[in-house]
Amino acid sequence: MIAGAPRAVPWAGAVALAVLSGCAGAGGDEAWRAPPAPGASWDWQLSEPLDPPLDVAAFDTDPESVTPAQMAALKGAGIYTICYVSVGTVEDYRDDAGRFPPAVVGRSYPGWPGEKFLDIRRIDVLLPIMRDRFARCRALGFDAIEADNMDVYMNDSGFAITRGDTVAYVTALADAAHEMGLGIGQKNVPALTGRLVGRLDFAITESCYQDGWCGAVRAYARAGKPVFDAEYTDRPIDFSAACALARQYGISMILKDRDLHEGGRRCPN
């Protein structure tokens, strides 16, 4: 679910570039890296051109948009890097889109052309694909996974998916990521926090202040795990008040445009 979809990069070429640049983990043999502490600074860019900041603790981006040189700079600065992966939808511009059998592809995601929901109950079909995506992130040097679109159960997907199905799928994804030495975060789905906080390493939320549910993910900060939140400029917000709540709850909050370009505002320390 990325506005201004990035260029399609044949993955073999992307991995080869990462290895040549020294960004790749050697077959996943690097130790798991803990995410930053709650309240640490972050940025999130999913629309090109990217301009990764080197003065943040964490940076989230799409693996098909970031260059090996940018990854090397991020790693050199000690920044915790998070790799965007849609685990609940298939996007038709991805180079592995043809791997999803028609039986697991559901209705279109409104507002996101070329994107359709997946039947996440079919862990047997989806997990091998997602494992390969995670391995690509690892090869490029990322530390963790942003598992987007966990909220299929909340949408008109064409499948009778439950919260329990979601927890089962996310648990399988978490096990796969952790086996590779990767962290993985909860994406939105505040109602599932109590069932996921013990399995996942951080949370990424959108508009938790604007929609009034930042408290629903506070369990992460209480467990010493960061919550990375983005509020959006296309909706009304008192950002000073939002930042005050973020400090109270230990949330890392930024204000971004909806398409997640470079720039934006961070809450002051």
Mind listing the domains of the chain with CATH numbers?
34-266 (3.20.20.70)
Q: Which DSSP string do the residues of the chain spell out, in sequence order? A: --SSPPPP--HHHHHHHHHHHT-S-STT-SPP-PPPPTT--EEEE-SSSP---SSSSEEEE-TTTS-HHHHHHHHHTT-EEEEEEESSEEETTSTTGGGS-GGGEEEE-TTSTTEEEE-TT-HHHHHHHHHHHHHHHHHTT--EEEEE-GGGGGS--SS---HHHHHHHHHHHHHHHHHTT-EEEEES-GGGHHHHTTT-SEEEEESTTTTT-GGGGHHHHHTT--EEEEEETTS---HHHHHHHHHHHTEEEEEE-TT--S--EE---
The predicted pLDDT at position 81 comes to 98
**pLDDT tens, the chain, 269 aa long:** 554 443 333 333 343 333 333 333 333 445 789 999 999 999 999 999 999 999 999 999 999 999 999 999 999 999 999 999 999 999 999 999 999 999 999 999 999 999 999 999 999 999 999 999 999 999 999 999 999 999 999 999 999 999 999 999 999 999 999 999 999 999 999 999 999 999 999 999 999 999 999 999 999 999 999 999 999 999 999 999 999 999 999 999 999 999 999 999 999 97
The predicted pLDDT at position 12 comes to 36
The predicted pLDDT at position 1 comes to 56
The predicted pLDDT at position 236 comes to 97
